[in-house]
Amino acid sequence: MNTVARLGALAIALGLCVPAMAAGKLYCCIDASGKQECGDLLPQACYGRAYRELGDSGRTQRNVEAPLTAEQRIQHAAEEERRKVEEAALKEKQRKDQALLNTYGTIEDIETMRVRAQEDVQKSIKGAETKIAEMRTLRLKFENEAEFYKKKQLPAEVQKGMRDADYEIKAQESIIESRKKEFDVIRIKYDEDRRRYLDLSRRGATPL
């Protein structure tokens, strides 16, 4: 066989072999020594390491990361937990912002509701003060009646009347003290609502 014929036969043989070699997937990684290892099955040197999955064309179809170490898994879990907490906080903030926009149509609405809340507290205080005045009048009645029994046994109903009046007066005084503290709560709440509303308005947020 002459040289040309021999070269032709070799080319045909190579042409037949190349597709057979290229067919199927190939898995490649860099082993512990820094050398590239490849195989149609994942080479043992690639176990526990990052590797590439190559297609028929020889191009990388998929990159597979190396398994996480115990320390990396702990760090990943902590980062995931932090991400969830931050995401939940953001959703809660968005929910509150939307509720604020749904509650108030204008900045004047905030001031209107502030005044209304303050008036409700003041009305409650006035009611307690009126009750105290009534109880003091009632107690004075029992005190006057007790004057007739200075040297005698005080009737049980008179004792009970003064005791009940004292109890009611203290209860109403406690209500007044508690309600007065609400003025600070109202001030803080509506100041914060006003600040957030103005901030959302500047950012162009609108109610859904």
List, for residues 19-70, the tens digit of each pLDDT value. 434 457 899 999 889 999 999 898 998 988 999 999 888 888 899 988 888 8
The mean pLDDT of the chain is 86
User: Exposure string (b/e) for 42-67, b if CB count within 10 Å is 16 or more?
Assistant: bbebbeebebbebeeeeeeeeeeeee
User: pLDDT at residue 7 above 70?
Assistant: no
User: pLDDT at residue 4 above 90?
Assistant: no
Model pLDDT, residue 208: 60
Q: What percent of the chain has pLDDT over 90?
A: 61
| Residues with Cβ within 8 Å of residue 63, at least 6 apart in sequence | 50, 51, 52, 53
Among the residue ranges 8-22, 102-116, 141-155, the one predicted with the least confidence is: 8-22
Q: What is the mean pLDDT of residues 155-168?
A: 93
- CA distances for 185 relative to 27, 112, 139, 179, angstroms: 66, 16, 35, 10
- Six-digit token pair at 157? 């109903």
User: pLDDT at residue 205 above 70?
Assistant: no
List, for residues 82-101, the tens digit of each pLDDT value. 999 999 999 999 999 999 99
Model pLDDT, residue 55: 87
Entry pTM? 0.56
HEC profile for the chain?
CCHHHHHHHHHHHHHHHHHHHHCCCEEEEECCCCCEEEECCCCHHHCCCCEEEECCCCCEEEEECCCCCHHHHHHHHHHHHHHHHHHHHHHHHHHHHHHHHHHCCCHHHHHHHHHHHHHHHHHHHHHHHHHHHHHHHHHHHHHHHHHHHCCCCCCHHHHHHHHHHHHHHHHHHHHHHHHHHHHHHHHHHHHHHHHHHHHHHHCCCCCC
Single-letter amino acid code for the residue at 27: Y
Model pLDDT, residue 12: 40
User: pLDDT at residue 3 above 90?
Assistant: no
Q: What is the mean pLDDT of residues 120-124?
A: 96
**The total number of residues written for the chain in this structure:** 208
Distance of CA 160 to the CA centre of its chain: 54
Model pLDDT, residue 5: 43
Which residue has 């009750």 as its token pair? 131
Model pLDDT, residue 11: 40
- Six-digit token pair at 132? 């105290």
Domain boundaries along the sequence of the chain: 3-64, 69-103, 104-202
